[in-house]
Amino acid sequence: MEPDAITALAAEAYVYGSPLVRRLSAVRACLREGCGTTPAAPFNDFAHADGPATPGTYTPYAPADLVDALAQLDLSGGPVGLHVPDTGGAYYVLQFVDAWGNTFAYLGTRATGTGEGDWLVVPPGWAGTVPDVVSGVIDAPTSVVSVLGRLVCDGPDDMPRVRALQQELTLTHLGDRAHRTGLPATEPGVPGELRFFEELRVWTADFPPAAADRAYQDRFQPLGLLEEGLSPYVSASPRLVRALGRGLALGRLRVEEAARLPQVLAEGPPGAWQATPHLRDHNLDHFGVGTLGTPEWTLPDREASYLVRAVAARRGYRQPHGYEAVFAHTSRDSRGRMLDGAHRYALRFAQPPPVQAFWSLTAYDSPGGHLITNAADRYAIGDRTPGLVHGDDGSLTLHLSAERPADSEGAANWLPLPPGAFRPVLRLHLPDQAVLDGSYVVPALERLGDPPGVEIPDL
């Protein structure tokens, strides 16, 4: 093929294959160094965070009222047993993500309830006998999957309860063969600029995609991505290296541009909240426990789904489907001005967000996405916050400011702000349909202290 054709094909290969490379690179990092708030842990073992995010947590936009649990499963040696404890009605979720970044199962409050249970996670093509004692079977599309868990926590005093649940959330290797200790190794000697294609070549062979994707994947034969044995990239010609490098840059640009496109939760005034409840709709083939495979939650165009999947991988792997949770954020007030902790704001809900589980609001510094220490040691406010004051008509006004409001109602409904630019994140767990279809609109933040009708410019 001509260099231009190779470049164009390589760009398509990046969009198609970057979710696999990103996901497995994250798995490797989790095994070695840990991920986000969770420490390192071997395959088939849970890693647990010490608690919700605090100002000492350096993971961007980590939740201040949920505790992370994370496990990397290797099913190459056979099934793995998963025990989930009885949470006593408290919210939790376990999200199962395959090597390609597809969420294919959920356990937890919405999907299976909060009672105790034992589950069998089985590898692709497994045809063994299912024990009578298990609650159900989770069929994994790939032999390596990630389990992303979150347990609700109402602050430091609630951590003993959470730690007890962590001890009971366990994995047991039930296979008849030893599972591997790491991911398949790539060929040494591949130039750094071709490392992406080498990882994609090796990992695609070990973690094949859904059958419907394989015909599309065959198009990448001219790039060497389907070669077995010795890597074609060890001694690639300078011409091929240049063409693949240009294609890699072009593919990255396509994903970055798509990831920057804003998506509002519902049409509204300046300061409208943005969210991506359909970012996980790229899964078209594997609908296990707790997932919805209806047209509302799947993309009709398979090739278009590859770009959505790449954007989802670029933004991070922890975001679930919108029917499990919606994370909304904004950076501007009701007049379109950038949010700044030097000002005071009000968030006035005529009716609080309609959810089946809970909602909460957290303010992070911008652009870092970190919590900043405040004197009240309060980093989230929501429907589980003790002492919230509602209006006689059911309305709720939250007060966001660096200084504690002087009146008792304002202090009860107060979320401290960091100095400088900030970004609030509204988390809606098990949102009602009104949130998903846009009929419920999250109101914009109002900056207080402005004369009515007078536009005050940013300084």
* HEC secondary structure over the chain: CCHHHHHHHHHHHHHHHHHHHHHHHHHHHHHHCCECCECCCCCCCEEECCCCCCCCCCCCCCCCCEEEEEEEEECCCCCEEEEECCCCCCCEEEEEEECCCCEEEEEECCCCCCCCEEEEEECCCCCCCCCCCCCEEEECCCCEEEEEEEEECCCHHHHHHHHHHHHHCEEEECCCCCCCCCCCCCCCCCCHHHHHHHHHHHHHHHCCCCHHHHHHHHHHHHHCCCCCCCCCCCCCCHHHHHHHHHHHHHHHHHHHHHHHCCCECCCCCCCCCECCCCCCCCCCCCCCCCCCCCHHHCCCCHHHHHHHHHHHHHHCCCCCCCCCEEEEECCECCCCCECECCCCEEEEECCCCCEEEEEEEEEEECCCCCCCCCCCCCCCEECCCCCCCECCCCCEEEEEECCCCCCHHHHHCEEECCCCEEEEEEEEEEECHHHHCCCCCCCCCEECCCCCCCCCCCC
What pLDDT score was predicted for residue 263?
67
Residue reference for tokens 């890597």 = 231
In single-letter form, the type of residue at position 225 comes to L
Taking the C-alpha atoms of residue 51 and residue 163, their distance in angstroms, rounded to an integer, is: 9
- Tell me: cis bond preceding 367? Omega within 30 of 0 counts: yes
What integer pLDDT is reported at residue 450 of this predicted model? Answer: 64
* CA distance linking residue 49 with residue 169, whole number of Å: 13
pLDDT number for residue 55 = 95
CA-to-CA distance for 69 and 55, rounded, in angstroms?
19
pLDDT of 286: 96
Rounded-to-integer distance, Cα 221 and Cα 217, Å: 8
For the chain (459 residues), the mean pLDDT of every run of 10, in chain order, is 87 98 96 94 96 92 96 96 98 98 98 98 94 94 97 95 98 86 88 94 95 93 91 91 95 94 67 93 97 96 96 89 97 96 97 96 96 94 95 96 91 96 98 95 91 47
Give the pTM: 0.94
What is the per-residue pLDDT for 454?
44
d(C-alpha 395, C-alpha 241), whole Å = 61
Contacts of 26 (CB under 8 A, 6+ apart): 35, 146, 317
- Give dist(CA 459, CA 73) in Å, integer: 52
Residue (of 26, 22, 25, 20) closest to 47 by Cα position: 26
First and final C-alpha spacing in the chain: 56
CA distances in angstroms from 246 to 11, 193, 240, 241, 251, listed in the order given: 8, 10, 10, 9, 9
Radius of gyration of the chain (CA): 24
Q: φ, ψ for residue 319 (rounded to 5)?
A: -75, 130
What's the confidence (pLDDT) of residue 50? 95
